[in-house]
Amino acid sequence: MDDVGTEGRMKRSDYIFLPLICAIALFLGWKLFAATEKDLSGVIIQPIDDIGAFIAAAEQIQPKEGEVYLLAQQWKWSGEITLQAGQDYILHLATADIQHGFHLPREAMGQSVDILLQPNKKYQVNLRNLKPGVYPVGCTEYCGIEHNKMRTKLIVLE
């Protein structure tokens, strides 16, 4: 029999190696994605080593060198945040007790920010292109009987 007609056909061994190569590529892609420690929204999530140090940073006068700290705990935020329009900031978020949600409305910088805060983790988000105004910040995850009182605000000055 002639080998001329079999040139375009896949061999039986090709059917074994093709799925194996795809599986390896998917695994390596997932490992690369996980290594960046970023979720799809650009929020950096890291384990928190010392909640006491984070609480102390949140109680300081802010912002400090472009860094802003906000702590969530039942049923309050650590305070209001006052920033300047036209400057970029790094917002650090953490919860001192249970799961909370952070929401900053779209009007503040052109896109809304929604983050589910988990205990033992700190979250870092870039605040860019802030527009002057007063924006409500709320908890979007039910955190107990006084959840509705868990409000603060972001004040952006001209």
pLDDT at site 39? 46
Nearest to 43 by CA among 122, 146, 138, 96: 122
Are 128 and 86 in contact by the 8 Å Cβ rule? The answer is no
Q: Number of C-alpha atoms within 13 angstroms, CB side, residue 25?
A: 6
pLDDT above 70 coverage of the chain, percent: 84
Cα distance between residue 3 and residue 120, in whole Å: 64
Query: Which residues pair with residue 94 across a beta bridge?
Result: 71, 122
pLDDT at 158 over 80: yes
pLDDT at 10 over 70: no
Q: Number of C-alpha atoms within 13 angstroms, CB side, residue 7?
A: 4
Cα distance between residue 114 and residue 44, in whole Å: 13
Mean pLDDT, rounded, of the chain: 85
Confidence of residue 153 (pLDDT cuts 50, 70, 90): very high
C-alpha torsion 31→35→40→45, nearest 10: 140
Confidence of residue 34 (pLDDT cuts 50, 70, 90): low
Q: 70-100, pLDDT tens digit by residue?
A: 999 989 999 999 999 989 999 999 999 999 9
Q: 35-54, pLDDT tens digit by residue?
A: 544 444 578 999 998 999 99
Confidence of residue 33 (pLDDT cuts 50, 70, 90): low
List the single range of 37-46, 131-140, 144-153 with lowest mean pLDDT: 37-46
Strand 81-84 versus strand 151-157 pairing type: parallel
Instruction: Give 17 or 43, the one with higher predicted confidence.
Output: 43
Neighbours of 96 (CB within 10 A): 18
